[in-house]
Structure 1
């Protein structure tokens, strides 16, 4: 019998502020994630949870980057390490500390170093966030403990996603390398000489790797051209876009907030994404996703 994937997650607000500190945990699990806005770092100083051995994540947006930047680390005393980063790292706005709430079963230094190494690899593989750091060292962990930590890691990913930071989830879900055009409801934008394909997801409309943009902007696009060219520049800097045979090609999956934002960028001209994205049979995104409601 297939097990249910349903989960109950409790989020505690210590100061009652939904935009403040959050402590999230899964019922019957000992691991918990503490989200701390940078401006409220001092307010958690006395909380016992933040003074334990911890895996931690820093999240923020660099002005020159289109994707959220993240940093993954480990610490013997979580709060003290965050205090150091408050003085030395500019980019981050939010920290998430991962600790255990079981006094008899705290993380060891080796535990969090293993989780740091594994988390880095999974985050880089997912490609959702910009990770600007070197590969952390991989410590020796007994096989039995490694299995425990991998089980804990699944809970960590769930908690981070619930708090709004799905750092280990690729834009294609769990089967990143598999593109089943029928099951995944693939849509194509081939007006002019564009050869783009993608999917409408929880993240917006995701244009997939290997999509090719139209070769040049159309007349009438001048009012948007400056902003469009700025985005082109940023995408090239972040290696989201490359150039192949004189045309822009997507090197990574890239989400856009709406179908029209995606098709306008791909076509380099004004576009209604609800009609410009079509499935293999020629049905528009509008027909499939809006008119069938």
Structure 2
């Protein structure tokens, strides 16, 4: 297998504010993404691309739980104006179009159906969409174009703070990837976390830059910490998505799952704020993740040419 190619992404903060309207485009891709807070929806819908055919995401919360809606339209501004009256829970919108209004009705229906199916399969955020639409009939060539469009879109969306399509569950080990001759392949490292009072044992591996808690690892059934943090929400999200399942008074990981850091993994396992760099121990040596990482950095510096 060949190494994945890098991609260039351009973000433009329309009014110079990091929390305001934002556009995202990728080199050699016709797609255009506009993210806007609801407080600026009037200005967003006045932009030319808002009247194009496209798809849109509405993001927010309802009764304290995250919620999203995925829709399409030949004039997405008209659809969002309708939602502005009928839906009061959303706080931001993502408008996805193509340069020169090149998407047609069949294209956007296809993209809507694919995004809804993708969101439901990942399960990171509940959808208000009650029905998953079927795929419209497209020619083989048009299907190929829309799949390529979707592949780029799923790279762009996390850059505008939409992570509901990131698949972190790992149902099977990744196949080995041949590293370029100039890059040293990292050996897989395995770690263990034992919370003896709670009777929990979890295992994780560091591979390809991902900290992956393995299938079969144990975690607290409920969040026990006094602070309701992003990790508490992640704990609830993994239970809701079926990544963690209840078993004998605790949770078991039904799938391996890639966390963004050892501390995120540790917090979900023990059900409270946790310092993952000291909670996780290297399985072979017993040293903490922090000391194991420090030894790697020291070894790498020792091999650098003077």
TM-score range, shorter chain: 0.7 to 0.9
1: CA distance, partners of 2:63 / 2:167: 23
Q: CA deviation at 1:74?
A: 0.8
SS of residue paired to 2:90: coil
1: CA distance, partners of 2:209 / 2:123: 14
- 1:83-98 matches, within 5 Å, as 83-98=81-96
Out of 227, 238, 247, the position equivalent to 2:240 is 238
Q: Which residue in the other structure is 1:213 paired with?
A: 219
Out of 88, 100, 103, the position equivalent to 1:102 is 100
Q: Which residue in the other structure is 2:136 paired with?
A: 139
- 1:123-138 matches, within 5 Å, as 123-133=119-129, 134-138=131-135
Sort the Cα spacing of 1:215 and 1:26 in 2 relative to 1 into closer, same or farther, 3 A: closer
Q: Which residue in the other structure is 1:157 paired with?
A: 154
SS of residue paired to 2:100: coil
Name the one with the larger strand percent.
2
Unaligned runs of 5+ in 2: 176-185, 298-306
2: CA distance, partners of 1:232 / 1:149: 31
2: CA distance, partners of 1:267 / 1:161: 27
What is the TM-score of this pair, normalised by structure 2? 0.74
2: CA distance, partners of 1:73 / 1:37: 17
Alignment of 1:114 onto 2:110? yes
Q: Which residue in the other structure is 1:70 paired with?
A: 68
Q: CA RMSD in A?
A: 3.8
Sort the Cα spacing of 1:80 and 1:206 in 2 relative to 1 into closer, same or farther, 3 A: farther
Q: Which residue in the other structure is 1:285 paired with?
A: 289
Q: Which residue in the other structure is 2:192 paired with?
A: 188
Out of 263, 266, 271, the position equivalent to 2:266 is 263
SS of residue paired to 2:161: coil
Q: CA deviation at 1:186?
A: 4.4
SS of residue paired to 2:218: coil
Sort the Cα spacing of 1:254 and 1:70 in 2 relative to 1 into closer, same or farther, 3 A: farther
1: CA distance, partners of 2:174 / 2:192: 14
Sort the Cα spacing of 1:92 and 1:254 in 2 relative to 1 into closer, same or farther, 3 A: farther
1: CA distance, partners of 2:61 / 2:168: 19
Q: Does the Cα contact within 8 Å between 1:203 and 1:257 map onto a contact in 2?
A: no
Sort the Cα spacing of 1:291 and 1:231 in 2 relative to 1 into closer, same or farther, 3 A: same
SS of residue paired to 1:131: coil
Q: CA deviation at 1:195?
A: 2.4
2: CA distance, partners of 1:97 / 1:149: 16
Sort the Cα spacing of 1:72 and 1:208 in 2 relative to 1 into closer, same or farther, 3 A: farther
Q: CA deviation at 1:257?
A: 7.8
1: CA distance, partners of 2:45 / 2:221: 55
Q: Does the Cα contact within 8 Å between 1:171 and 1:203 map onto a contact in 2?
A: no
Deviates more, 1:118-127 or 1:41-50: 118-127
Unaligned runs of 5+ in 1: none
Q: Does the Cα contact within 8 Å between 1:186 and 1:198 map onto a contact in 2?
A: yes
Corresponding pairs, count: 280
Alignment of 1:35 onto 2:32? no
